[in-house]
Amino acid sequence: MRFAKLVDCLARLEKTTKRLEMTAALAELFKGASEEDIAPIIYLTQERLGPAFAPIDFGIGDALAAQALAKASGKTIDAIKKQYKTKGDYGTVAENLLKQNDGSKLTVKKVYDQLMQIATTSGEGTVEKKTDLLADLLNKLSGAEARYLLRIPLGRLRLGIGDPTVMESLSWSKTGDKSLRAPIERAYNVCSDLGEVARIFKADGVDALEKIQVKVGNPVRMALAERAKSSEDVVTRLGKCAIEPKYDGLRAQIHKDGDRVRIYSRNLEETTEMFPDIAEGVRKQFKAKTAILEGEALAVDTETGDYLPFQMTTQRKRKHGIAESQAKLPLKLLAFDLLYADGKDVTRVGYQERHALLDKLIARGETLEVAEQLVTQDAKLIEKFFMEKIEHGLEGIMAKRLDSPYQAGARNFNWMKLKRSYQGHLTDTVDGVVVGYLRGRGMRARFGIGALLVALYDDQQDKFVTVAKIGTGFSDEEWPQMRALLDKIALDHPHARVEAVMEPDVWVEPKYVIEMQADEITRSPIHTAGKIDDEPGYALRFPRVKGFIRADKKPEDATTVAEILRMFKKQGSQRTENE
Ligand code: ATP
């Protein structure tokens, strides 16, 4: 396929935001593609050179684009930069500079190969070589083609073509409807590579997709859990099931091929470099030669061997100073699933059997351990297990259907999570100051008030900083009363002592204190309590009002930011404190 045809399609996509029109345009493009073209087309429309998990970077940034354009057009770098300033995008600059070029005869494959060559160029004089290759490519393209070519590596297509749109369009390209989306999606969930799925689909049809199996080195889209309301809910849905602690760390999918170990995160990014201790643990303790296993990576206290809170584990997610942080915060892997072992795909084997197999394959040692399990259908025992885990500072429990296969990428009731936050375990209440209100929708609209914007007191800066939007806890009588009081102190701008990101419909003077109960404290970008620079602030999760107005408190008597920080820390370290 000519590159020009892909460009026509991209131009069409740019003009619409309607999903159906996008699907139709992409389906037409896919239909016209050959077996050889289809994967490059998919990668390029998603601004990539390969599947998301493959670490191939274009290696083309603004500076290189400007240099290549200068070379291709004979203009100076300064002239190029000047144009960029007015146009705001190197794609448009390229189109303008190269508009006299004839339409090219280059194929998608040729363009893709040259971009790949640029990406893989290394060694001495890399920048020079990359610039030459890009300038050469630009010179062979028409203005319109150059525009899109540059936008791809610079991440400026802004088309919003997500995986679901690609999958649906692939189905449309064969059947004119979305009927084949399910088998396409299953294949994608198993191999995480839409280009490869499309190639097989094109070459051998939908039946061939069924044969795609998990493969060591190709991360598998992870199975996810639905929420459980209670222990009874778990038993009603699953009957006799496996109950495990819900460890609060980082999900890790580990691929072992002899001594080569790769680790992937929840969103399938490769994190091997960050966790050399886990990789080494797998090499030492995992008895299968080839395998894919999953577990939760957790930081442990070097003195006591206790698991540390999530906030500590995430400190290991860093690209520098790895050896140092590894010594300070060594990780453990609590393994809970097995997808592949010694040449066999076991994803269709029932969960309990996979778990038993996993247990057998782990030799005793420091890093790897199999997740603790209780098999039961007794809601009381589940509740007891849950309470024990909460007391030890864990997040809650996971319940798993005993005979369930590993369903890549699926969130369903094969796995259920029951978490502390759903059961209201933040025991302390928080006093906040009302700084504004929102008018509310539905039933509340008749009151003209539906939620309050509430702040804490920052005694260091003498400011009120927001911590919650709260719409629960007042009765139908109390809402109008509240509104009447607030309207008397309404302002047409935020009060000078109030710092907020969220905008209410009506600002008010910080005057009334209310008492709030919440499930827990979380980090949030839309609240300003404890917010420093670009870091998120702190917020209450599932807040509700207790009582009405605390007439005995002044705004400055509200809970302070320092207190909320202490509560947040306590919530994270309950486990260590209780032990
Ligand atoms: P989700 O992953 O479901 O989208 P999320 O990212 O908010 O949601 P949680 O709701 O906390 O995560 O629950 C799922 C996560 O719990 C898993 O992805 C995994 O990292 C973690 N987890 C901890 N212990 C277990 C366990 N025993 N079995 C499965 N997952 C566990």
pLDDT in tens, 252-271: 999 999 999 999 998 888 99
B/e letters for 261-300, b = 16+ CB within 10 Å, e = fewer, are: bbbbbeebeebbebbebbbebbeebbebebbbbbbbbbbb
Contact 216, 291 (CB under 8 A): yes
Q: Does the pLDDT value for residue 302 go beyond 90?
A: no
Instruction: Report whether residue 307 contacts ligand 1, using a CB cutoff of 6 Å.
Output: no
Q: Tens digit of pLDDT for each residue in 401-431?
A: 999 999 999 888 999 999 875 444 555 689 9
pLDDT band at 212 (very low <50, low <70, confident <90, very high): very high
For residue 416 and ligand 1, the question of a CB distance below 6 A is answered with no
* 294 close to ligand 1 (CB < 6 Angstrom): no
- Judge whether 82 counts as a catalytic residue: no
Task: Work out the burial of residue 242: count CB atoms within 10 Å of its CB; fewer than 13 is exposed, 13-18 middle, 19 or more buried.
Answer: buried
225 CA distance to ligand 1 centroid (A)?
7
State whether the beta carbon of 244 lies less than 6 angstroms from ligand 1: yes
Topology agreement, domain 3-154 and domain 430-578: no
For the segment 69-87, what is each residue's pLDDT rounded down to a tens digit?
Answer: 999 999 999 999 999 999 9
State pLDDT tens for residues 529-546. 999 988 889 999 888 998
CA of 413 to the centre of ligand 1 (A): 13
What local confidence, expressed as pLDDT, does residue 517 receive? 87
336 lines ligand 1 (CB under 6 A): yes
Give the residue, 366 or 525, on which the prediction is more confident: 366
Class of domain 3-154: mainly alpha
Q: Is the CB of 251 under 6 A from ligand 1?
A: yes
Q: Which tops the pLDDT comparison, 459 or 502?
A: 502
CA 545 vs CA 110, 433, 471, 474, 518: distances in Å? 63, 12, 8, 7, 9
pLDDT of residue 426: 55
Q: Is the pLDDT of residue 248 over 80?
A: yes
Q: What atom in ligand 1 is closest to the CA of residue 417?
A: 13
pLDDT at 385 over 70: yes
Contacts of 399 (CB under 8 A, 6+ apart): 228, 234, 238, 241, 242, 243, 244, 382, 415, 416, 417, 418
**This model's pTM is above 0.85:** no
Among 222, 296, 372, 407, which is best to mutate for testing ligand 1, by the most ligand atoms less than 8 A from CB?
296
pLDDT exceeds cutoff 50 at 174: yes
Across 37-51, 149-163, 173-187, least confident range: 149-163
Closest atom of ligand 1 to CA, residue 400 = 28
Q: Which atom of ligand 1 is nearest to the CA of 415?
A: 29
Nearest CA to ligand 1 atom 17: 251
State the CB neighbour count (10 A cutoff) for residue 85: 9
* Ligand 1 centroid from CA 371, angstroms: 13
Ligand 1 center from residue 575 Cα (angstroms): 18
Any idea where the domains of the chain sit in the sequence? 3-154, 224-419, 430-578
For atom 19 of ligand 1, which residue has the closest CA? Answer: 251
Q: What is the pLDDT of residue 78?
A: 96
pLDDT in tens, 491-525: 988 987 899 999 999 999 999 999 998 888 888 88
Among 130, 140, 202, 246, the one annotated catalytic: 246
Name the residue of 224, 358, 415 to mutate for ligand 1: max ligand atoms within 8 A of Cβ: 224
pLDDT of residue 577: 30
- pLDDT given for residue 574 in this prediction: 45
Ligand 1 touching residue 246 (CB < 6 A): yes
Mean of the pLDDT values across residues 310-320?
87
Q: Which of 217, 207, 86, 65 is nearest to 147 (CA)?
A: 65
Q: Is 225 in the pocket of ligand 1 (CB under 6 A)?
A: yes
Average pLDDT of the residues in 140-159: 92
Q: How far is the CA of 224 from the centre of ligand 1 (A)?
A: 7
Bigger pLDDT: 343 vs 541: 343
**Tens of pLDDT along 345-359?**
999 999 999 999 999
Q: How close is the Cα of 526 to the center of ligand 1, in Å?
A: 24
Q: Spelled out in words, what is the top-level CATH class assigned to the domain 430-578?
A: mainly beta
pLDDT of residue 427: 57
Domain 224-419 has CATH 3.40.50.300: no
Nearest residue (CA) to ligand 1, atom 18:
251
pLDDT of 391 reads: 72
Task: Using pLDDT thresholds of 50, 70 and 90, give the confidence band for residue 579.
Answer: very low
